[in-house]
Amino acid sequence: MMAEAKRNTIGAKASVLVIGAGVVGVATAYALARRGFCVTIADQASGVGQGASFANGAQLSYAYTDALATPKLLRHMPALALGMDPVFRLKPSVDPGYISWLLRFVRNCTRARALETTMAGLALGLESRLALHDLLAQHPLDFGYEAPGKLHLYKDEAGFSAAAILAELKGTHGAVQHVLSRQDALQLEPALAAYADDFVGALYSPEDELGDPHRFCRTLLDVLVHRYGVTLRTGVRVADIGTSGGQVIGFAANGEQIVADHILICAGLGSASLLRRFGLGSALMPMKGYSITAPPGAHPPKTSITDVARKLVFCPLQGAIRIAGLAELGEHNPALAADRLAVMVDSAQAAFPEMAQYAAPSSIWAGIRPMTANSLPIIQTVAPGITVNIGHGMLGWTYAMGSAERAAHCLLAASR
């Protein structure tokens, strides 16, 4: 059966099929719908925000968009491959696509490229902040949104000094970050007094924000459906793409054909099979992470906190504490591994014994984030009528609104 995408009667704009209903897909649908496009969202899951958007760290880290590929990480990669780092692992593989991605990643591990990537990510992060504020001015969504700022804790002088230098450079590009002594950080965030380890200093990003990404997807979808006439198709896996008569077709696995004037792919790792024909089949690498959401303990934070050494996030979220961490590069299996979850929880409890009630989590989650070799999303038109907005990695929530605006502009430019 062929389900024809309905024509838009508002501003005579074209129809768009958005593939993927995570934060990136839903934000992209909004960027298109508010410009008058007739939008249909298709996702293979039973609802929105069911993948990487479901229970990630919840931080909107506009000022902290540092590249994953760095000279320091390159030196550390043999240890990652051997499983010697408990919080960051590199899963070896002989798959040609994996090797191709890894070689591109290594080429990005230069000082110059890492700095270039970080600044490009910062620009997108700041665009996202403005786009989210514009959305909330138009539609005051309820998703646990707060703007308490964020603290990055550093345990060694060398790392702290390097971060301070980078923060100064970011300041010239519009970021607001303050370098704090240990005492200044303790005054700003009293919960740090219960931190089990000593730290030499912190970076404070007062404009960084937080919110529940899954709840954001659901509340924004409600606006999209009732205010903009967007159609949501769940349980529909678009397995292939074709063209016919100047339009594009999404071929669903169940045999259905969804016809539109444009297709915008935002399906993360699920996009890989659709992208091979455009030379992007090995553009994405899975990065698995974990989180728990637990009631606050005796010393909960009022700001978001990132423990740099442990690679852990602690985020006060809607009366609870979201704790996220671990990075497993190359891991495709989204299933929750109890031993790996225990590593994260034990590490969090060792850092902040009384921040949360670790033994009573209300939510436990594992998910896969789609990484590119340079840590930046791919936002481009790859063929007539087909645009992609993919590869946001661990910053999908942070980048969602900004990348959605860029994708909409990209589609508009390609349509002229």
Q: Are residues 157 and 97 in the same domain?
A: yes
CATH number at residue 287: 3.30.9.10
DSSP strands (E only) in 82-227: 88-90, 150-154, 178-181, 201-205, 209-210
DSSP code of 393? G
Asked if pLDDT for residue 2 goes beyond 50, the answer is no
Higher pLDDT, 329 or 3: 329
Residue-level pLDDT at 270: 84
Which whole number is the average pLDDT over 210-221? Answer: 98
Rounded CA gap, 356 and 348, in Å? 9
Q: Are residues 46 and 80 in the same domain?
A: no
- Separation of CA 406 from chain center: 16
Cα torsion through 207, 210, 214, 215, rounded to 10? -100
In angstroms, the Cα distances linking 358 to 191, 320, 361 are: 16, 11, 6
Residue-level pLDDT at 6: 38
Domain extent at residue 35:
2-52+215-282+375-415
Q: Are residues 37 and 182 in the same domain?
A: no
Helices (H), 266-337: 272-275
Q: Are residues 131 and 19 in the same domain?
A: no
Q: Are residues 95 and 149 in the same domain?
A: yes
b/e burial code for range 307-329 (CB count within 10 A of at least 16 → b) = bbebbbbbbbbbebbbbbbbbbb
Residue 11 banded pLDDT, cuts 50, 70, 90: very low
In the structure encoding, which two tokens stand for residue 39, read together?
Answer: 């939008």
Asked if pLDDT for residue 250 goes beyond 90, the answer is yes
CATH number at residue 388: 3.50.50.60
Q: Are residues 223 and 361 in the same domain?
A: no
* pTM tops 0.85: yes
Asked if pLDDT for residue 171 goes beyond 60, the answer is yes
Q: Domain count of the chain?
A: 2
Q: Are residues 91 and 151 in the same domain?
A: yes
Q: Are residues 109 and 45 in the same domain?
A: no
- Work out the burial of residue 200: count CB atoms within 10 Å of its CB; fewer than 13 is exposed, 13-18 middle, 19 or more buried: middle
Q: Are residues 150 and 246 in the same domain?
A: no
Q: Are residues 116 and 160 in the same domain?
A: yes
Higher pLDDT, 415 or 50: 50
| pLDDT, tens digit (0-9, with 9 covering 90-100), for 60-101 | 999 999 999 999 999 999 988 888 899 999 998 999 999 999
| pLDDT, tens digit (0-9, with 9 covering 90-100), for 274-314 | 998 899 989 999 999 999 999 999 999 999 999 999 999 99
Q: Are residues 292 and 166 in the same domain?
A: yes
Q: Are residues 204 and 254 in the same domain?
A: no
